[in-house]
Amino acid sequence: MSLDRIMNEAISPWMKGDGPDSDIVLSSRIRLARNFKKYQFSTMQNEEEAKQIHELFKKKFINKPVEPFGEFELLKMNELNPLQRRVLVEKHLISPNLAGTEYGACLLSESEHISIMLNEEDHVRIQCLFSGLQLSEALQSANQIDNWIEEQVEYAFDESLGYITSCPTNVGTGLRASVMIHLPGLVLTKRINRIIQVIQKLGLVVRGIYGEGSEALGNIFQVSNQMTLGKSEEDIIADLKSVIQQIIHQEKMARELIVQNSSIELEDKVYRSYGILANSRLIQSAEAATCLSDVRLGIDLGYIQGISRNILTELMVLTQPGILQQYAGGPLGPEERDYRRATLIRERLRIEQN
């Protein structure tokens, strides 16, 4: 695996899968936060300590494949240009926070299912991504990597509290489980705010597509647990999965309601959005995300035939500003990005139809 392949193949292998409930659930993510006993927290460490962690992972974990994920590639943030960092964020392989660090790094598996972030808020953040609703499977894989690392290093762990983390909300299991979910039905029926309020009362967090501080582009939301202390990993996963299954049920009911009461209006909305995607010469990322959401809904409801749902997922990634500029070979101005985005969408839809 090389940096060029990571940069030039916008679609990660995990994005191509069709996991359970993939008509509504785009992905499941598990993140484990860990720190080393012998080092200060990342927020307090100096350059020398950060480099020691890089060298530790380079020595003990590079060129040592882990089945079924393959070997890992070490990517240091200070060796990447801003555009390369942005591509990694847009592919959901690193956090925006890691992209902004001077001494951060990432170990990325060949399959891109696993990303081990170094010197972010914690020394180690193990991330595992699966398509569809596969929280238990993602946790199993994350624990496999966690055990692999713990065979070589000593974590900061307290018998009473659990894993010691930089942020108090992560103390305990250090587990953050999240699901990326497409909810156009609840948005169109104006039920989404009520649903979000209920979710938050259950102790869960709702964010946008790129996590904390981001907006819900294309009717895509992230739902995750908040506290990790006092619950087992299995309980956290079971609670989140139960809530997600209820959200899926509510979304399906909302879609049925729209079809029953406003079928022609919905069909018109879907085809107008398809017309914009198929014919525009300039399109901004927010408008593209909205139209792609409408067309994906149209495919799920059977209004549009002959186009794969995966193409829409692919285009949602391909049309992000960083990836567009990576394909162009360098920075682009806003209007040129809008032009290239529109061209890419038109060409991709044309290929799919032929």
Q: How many residues does the chain have?
A: 354
**pLDDT value at residue 11:** 79
- Binding site: which residues? 27-31, 92, 125, 176-180, 207-212
What is the average pLDDT across 307-332? 87
**pLDDT value at residue 12:** 82
What is the average pLDDT across 49-55? 87
Residue 312 binned pLDDT confidence (cut-offs 50, 70, 90): confident
Q: Which residue has the tokens 């942020």?
A: 167
Query: Would you state the structure tokens that stand for residue 156, as one six-digit string?
Result: 């900061």
Q: Does domain 3-250 sit in CATH 3.10.310.50?
A: no
Q: Which residue has the higher pLDDT, 321 or 272?
A: 272
**pLDDT value at residue 182:** 96
User: Could you read off the pLDDT of 82-137 as tens digits, one per residue?
Assistant: 999 999 999 999 999 999 988 899 999 988 999 999 999 999 999 999 999 999 99
Q: Is the pLDDT of residue 212 over 60?
A: no
User: Could you read off the pLDDT of 333-345 as tens digits, one per residue?
Assistant: 999 999 999 999 9
Residue 47 binned pLDDT confidence (cut-offs 50, 70, 90): confident
**pLDDT value at residue 188:** 94
**pLDDT value at residue 272:** 98
What is the average pLDDT across 41-49? 80
Residue 354 binned pLDDT confidence (cut-offs 50, 70, 90): low
Residue 51 binned pLDDT confidence (cut-offs 50, 70, 90): confident
User: Could you read off the pLDDT of 57-73 as tens digits, one per residue?
Assistant: 888 888 888 888 888 99
Q: Which residue has the higher pLDDT, 127 or 320?
A: 127
Q: Indicate the SS3 state at residue 222.
A: strand
**pLDDT value at residue 330:** 86
**Whose CA is closest to 130, among 259, 204, 26?**
26
Domain spans in the chain, listed from the N-terminal domain onward: 3-250, 263-353
Identity of the highest mean pLDDT range in 1-10, 226-235, 290-299: 290-299
User: Could you read off the pLDDT of 229-268 as tens digits, one per residue?
Assistant: 778 899 999 999 999 999 999 999 999 999 999 899 999 9
**pLDDT value at residue 85:** 94
Residue 166 binned pLDDT confidence (cut-offs 50, 70, 90): confident
**How, if at all, do strands 162-163 and 157-158 pair?**
antiparallel
**pLDDT value at residue 1:** 58
- CA dist 45 and 119 (Å) reads 9
Q: Is the pLDDT of residue 227 over 80?
A: no
3-state helix, strand, coil in the chain (%, to 5): 50, 20, 30
The answer to pTM > 0.85 is yes
- Binding site for ATP: which residues? 27-31, 92, 125, 176-180, 207-212
- Residue 45: exposed, middle, or buried by beta-carbon count in 10 A (0-12, 13-18, 19+)? middle
Mean pLDDT of the chain: 90
